[in-house]
C-alpha cells in the first residue's frame, strides 16, 4: 500500500493521532469486558458478536455467553441448541452457529489456540479480512491494517470533509500511515470510540462512503421470520413441520421457503417431516 499518496504532511497525521488519543483517554469506553481481558477466545467471541450489532446489545449477552461457555473447549462440546439459546437477542443466528463451528475447529485443528495469522482466520466461518485483522489486533496486539464502520467514520470526517463517494481503498493508506505500531490494540479502541462520538455529534460521516447502505427494515422481513423460527426451535428442540408453520401464522408458502433455506444451511434439521435443532 502506497502511503505517499496521502494528501497531508507528517505533522498533520501526528496532530490527528494526538487528538484521537486525547479523546480516548478522556472519554474512551474502557469498561467493555472484552477490552478488560484480551485473551484470544474472548476476543473471538466479542468480534463475531459485534458484527452488525450495537455494543449496548452485545455487552450483556457477552457476559452471559462467557459464563455459559467460559473457554473454547466448553463451547466446542456444547450443542447447537444450547449455543443458539444463549445467542437469542443478538440476531443473525448463523453467526452463533459459525462461532460454535469455529470453536470446534480451534480445538480439533489448533490445539485449542485461536490462530494469530489473519490468512488462517479467514478460512473460518463468518470471518472475513477485517474481522480476521481485528481479532489479531485485539487478541495479539499485532499492527495489522483494517477498517470497520466507526474507523471509517473517523477518517472520512478527518481527511475527506469536502468529498463524497469515498472508497475504502482511499482510506486505507491513511489508516496504515497513522497506525500505532507500538500499541495497535489501544489505537484501534481509540479510533472506534472517536467514531462513535462523531456519529452522535453530527451527521454520520459514513454517508460520504461509497460503501454506505441503509439497513433494510427488520419488521416483517425474512430476517425477522428466520429469527422467529430459530427461537421456536430452541424453545421446543423438536417440532413437526406442520406444527411449526402453524405457530408462525398464515403466510405458509413464504414461511416454507424461509424454513427450507434454514434446513439447507443446516441451522435446523428436517427428517420425516420432523424438525430438530
User: Yes or no: is domain 3-30+143-208 CATH 1.10.1670.10?
Assistant: yes
DSSP state of 146: -
**pLDDT tens digit sequence for 152-208:** 999 999 999 878 779 999 999 999 999 999 999 999 999 999 999 999 887 666 665
Asked if 47 is an active-site residue, the reply is yes
Q: For residues 178 and 150, give the distance between their C-alpha atoms in angstroms, rounded to a whole number.
A: 16
pLDDT at 201: 83
Cβ proximity of 3 and 176 under 8 Å: yes
Say if CB 272 and CB 79 are below 8 A apart.
no
Q: What is the pLDDT of residues 208-230, one digit of tens each?
A: 566 666 666 677 789 899 999 99
Number of Cβ within 10 Å of residue 75's Cβ equals 25
Put the strands of the sheet holding 238-240 in their side by side order.
238-240, 274-276, 269-271
Contact 257, 248 (CB under 8 A): no
Hey, is 276 helix, strand or coil?
strand
Phi then psi dihedrals of residue 122, to 5 deg:
-70, -10
Q: Which of 116, 171, 161 is nearest to 138 (CA)?
A: 116
Does residue 102 or residue 37 have the better pLDDT?
A: 102
Q: Give the pTM.
A: 0.87
* Alpha-carbon gap, residue 102 to 223, rounded angstroms: 23
Higher pLDDT, 55 or 164: 55
For 39-140, give the CATH class.
mainly alpha
Query: In the 8-state DSSP scheme, what is residue 51?
Result: T
In angstroms, the CA 148 to CA 171 distance is 11
Q: Is the pLDDT of residue 50 over 80?
A: yes
Domains in the chain: boundaries = 3-30+143-208, 39-140, 222-276
**Mean per-residue pLDDT of the chain:** 92
**Phi and psi of 182, rounded to 5°?**
-75, -30
SS3 of residue 275 by DSSP: strand
C-beta separation of 268 from 262 below 8 A:
yes
Phi, psi of 31 (to 5 degrees): -85, -10
Which residue of the set 14, 47, 162, 256 is catalytic?
47
Which of 182, 277, 184 lies closest to 232, judged by CA? 277
What is the model's pLDDT at position 1? Answer: 40
Percent of the chain past pLDDT 90, that is, above it, reads: 81
Amino acid at each position: 500500500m502506497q502511503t505517499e499518496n496521502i494528501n497531508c504532511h507528517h505533522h498533520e497525521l501526528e496532530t490527528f493521532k494526538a487528538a484521537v488519543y486525547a479523546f480516548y483517554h478522556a472519554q474512551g469506553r474502557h469498561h467493555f469486558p472484552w477490552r478488560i481481558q484480551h485473551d484470544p477466545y474472548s476476543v473471538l467471541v466479542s468480534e463475531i458478536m459485534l458484527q452488525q450489532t450495537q455494543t449496548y446489545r452485545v455487552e450483556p449477552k457477552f457476559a452471559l455467553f462467557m459464563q455459559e461457555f467460559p473457554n473454547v473447549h466448553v463451547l466446542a462440546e456444547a450443542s447447537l441448541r444450547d449455543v443458539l439459546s444463549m445467542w437469542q437477542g443478538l440476531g443473525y443466528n448463523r453467526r452463533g452457529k459459525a462461532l460454535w463451528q469455529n470453536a470446534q475447529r480451534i480445538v480439533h485443528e489448533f490445539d485449542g489456540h485461536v490462530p494469530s495469522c489473519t490468512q488462517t482466520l479467514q478460512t473460518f466461518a463468518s470471518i472475513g479480512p477485517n474481522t480476521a485483522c481485528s481479532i489479531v489486533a485485539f487478541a495479539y496486539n499485532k499492527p495489522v491494517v483494517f477498517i470497520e464502520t466507526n474507523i471509517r467514520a473517523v477518517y472520512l470526517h478527518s481527511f475527506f470533509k469536502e468529498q463524497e463517494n469515498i472508497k475504502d481503498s482511499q482510506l486505507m493508506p491513511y489508516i496504515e500511515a497513522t497506525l500505532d505500531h507500538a500499541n495497535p490494540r489501544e489505537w484501534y479502541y481509540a479510533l472506534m470510540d472517536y467514531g462513535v462520538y462523531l456519529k452522535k455529534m453530527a451527521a454520520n460521516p459514513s454517508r460520504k462512503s461509497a460503501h454506505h447502505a441503509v439497513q433494510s427494515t427488520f419488521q416483517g422481513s425474512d430476517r425477522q421470520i428466520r429469527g422467529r423460527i430459530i427461537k421456536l426451535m430452541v424453545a421446543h428442540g423438536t417440532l413437526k413441520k406442520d406444527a411449526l408453520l402453524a405457530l408462525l401464522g398464515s403466510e405458509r408458502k413464504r414461511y416454507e421457503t424461509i424454513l427450507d433455506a434454514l434446513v439447507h444451511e443446516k441451522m435446523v434439521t428436517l427428517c420425516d417431516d420432523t424438525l430438530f435443532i
